[in-house]
C-alpha cells in the first residue's frame, strides 16, 4: 500500500504541486457597478507563481497576471446581473489551479 505522506527516496524529485489560487470577493467595496476582489493568500508551496488570468464573467478580455499577482483588482461592469469571476494561476513548473466566485450586481 502506498503512503502519500512518505518521503521520496534520496535522489528523486517529488512531483510538482499546483499553486493555491485564492480569490475573495471584498464585500463592502461596491460602488454601483464596481467590484473589487483579492488574490491575497495565493501561493505555490514548491516553487513560484509564474502568472495567470483573471476573468470577470462579462465578456471583457481576461486580465493577464505576470509573476506573483497583485493582491487587489477592481472591475467596472456595464450591466446588472450574475457574474462568475475566475482566477487561474500557473506556477513555474506549468501546474495550474482555477477558482471562481459568484457575484450578482443590482445596479
Alpha helices in the chain (DSSP H): none
Q: Which pLDDT does position 101 carry in this prediction? A: 96
pLDDT digits (tens, 9 = 90+) for 42-85: 999 999 999 999 999 999 999 998 877 778 999 999 988 899 99
Q: Which pLDDT does position 30 carry in this prediction? A: 56
What's this model's pTM, rounded to 2 decimal places?
0.83
Q: Are 70 and 26 in contact (CB under 8 A)?
A: no
Backbone phi and psi for residue 63, each to the nearest 5 degrees, phi listed first:
-85, 130
For residue 18, CA distances in Å to 12, 29, 96 come to 18, 30, 5
Amino acid at each position: 500500500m502506498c503512503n502519500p505522506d512518505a518521503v521520496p527516496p534520496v535522489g528523486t524529485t517529488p512531483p510538482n504541486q499546483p499553486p493555491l489560487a485564492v480569490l475573495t470577493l471584498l464585500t463592502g467595496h461596491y460602488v454601483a457597478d464596481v467590484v473589487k476582489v483579492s488574490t491575497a493568500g495565493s501561493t505555490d508551496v514548491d516553487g513560484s507563481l509564474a502568472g495567470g488570468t483573471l476573468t470577470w464573467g462579462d465578456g471583457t478580455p481576461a486580465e493577464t497576471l505576470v509573476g506573483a499577482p497583485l493582491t487587489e483588482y477592481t472591475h467596472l461592469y456595464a450591466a446588472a446581473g450574475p457574474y462568475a469571476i475566475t482566477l487561474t494561476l500557473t506556477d513555474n513548473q506549468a501546474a495550474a489551479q482555477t477558482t471562481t466566485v459568484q457575484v450578482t450586481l443590482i445596479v
